[in-house]
Amino acid sequence: MEKIKKVLFPFLIPVIVLAAWIYATQLGKVPSSLLPGVSSVGEAFKRQIENGQLIQDLGVSLGRVVKGYAISIILGILLGALMGMSKSMWHLFHGVTTTIRQIPMMAWIPMIILWCGIKELSKVVIIVIAAFFPIMTNTLGGISSTPKEYIEVAKLYKLSRWKTFTKVYLPHAIPQIFVGLKLGLGTSWMAVVAAELIASVSGIGYRLSDARNMMRSDVMIVCMIVIGLVGALMDKIITLLFGVLTPWEKKGKAV
């Protein structure tokens, strides 16, 4: 029974939605200009794959995400760890980061475009801003909640500050850092699509806005579904990576 739940339940809602979609379009209750039929969306998807456009769009968008996300991982973990381990760093940065974090990612886009143009740089900068904060705040949370008992053990064995970081603070923070990495990847993906929607000549977000201009609702739906699925896939990859990197998390009391 558990197994059935695990395998079938995730598909239950998609199937219902699909059925409702087919029902609404087949019976002609909803005009195809508002909601194209499943088959025409399927054909649009096939076309997009065959002419290589979808892959190319995704490649462009993902390339931007990889660059921006990598930068925000480095900056986010670095600053989060510094703030978590040093009181003076915390006082120096906490007020500023808390304030900047309140500005929605969309509100950055106009100024970023003004400063960085509409080429690659602006997309990467927007992703960095979007992904940096969840990574930084979660790293900070994980580092600063390290039990003082463990830190005392490190002190007892006279570990250097760096060794204390790598052997005590960092492993303790890893589960929460991964929460930040997940959130950050999600926001990176959303940020790149948003940025491409607003100003771009390439990428999956651009394809969506281009389809809107051409009144191609089938292509728009293809783009939306692909954006959702790719985001979910990236989320899954991070979850798997977390499992590999924290072998101690799974082991329960066995002996």
Q: Which residues bind another protein (CB under 8 A)?
A: 149-150, 152-153, 155-160, 163, 167-168, 171-172, 174, 246-248, 251-255
Task: Give dist(CA 154, CA 61) in Å, integer.
Answer: 44
Contact yes or no for 191/105 (Cβ under 8 A):
yes
CA dihedral of 44, 45, 47, 53, whole degrees rounded to 10:
120
**Residue 109, SS3 per DSSP:** helix
Please state, in angstroms and as integers, the Cα–Cα distance from residue 132 to each residue in 52, 192, 241, following that order: 32, 14, 20
Q: Toward another protein, which CB reaches closer, 244 or 255?
A: 255
Q: Toward another protein, which CB reaches closer, 27 or 156?
A: 156
Q: Which two tokens stand for residue 17?
A: 């939605």
Q: Toward another protein, which CB reaches closer, 61 or 146?
A: 146
Q: Toward another protein, which CB reaches closer, 9 or 162?
A: 162
Q: What minimum distance in Å lies between the beta carbon of 159 and another protein?
A: 6
Match 């926001």 to its residue by tokens.
Answer: 187
Burial of 1 (0-12, 13-18, 19+ CB in 10 A): exposed
Contact yes or no for 132/103 (Cβ under 8 A):
no
Q: What minimum distance in Å lies between the beta carbon of 251 and another protein?
A: 5
Q: Which of 80, 75, 73, 100 is nearest to 181 (CA)?
A: 73
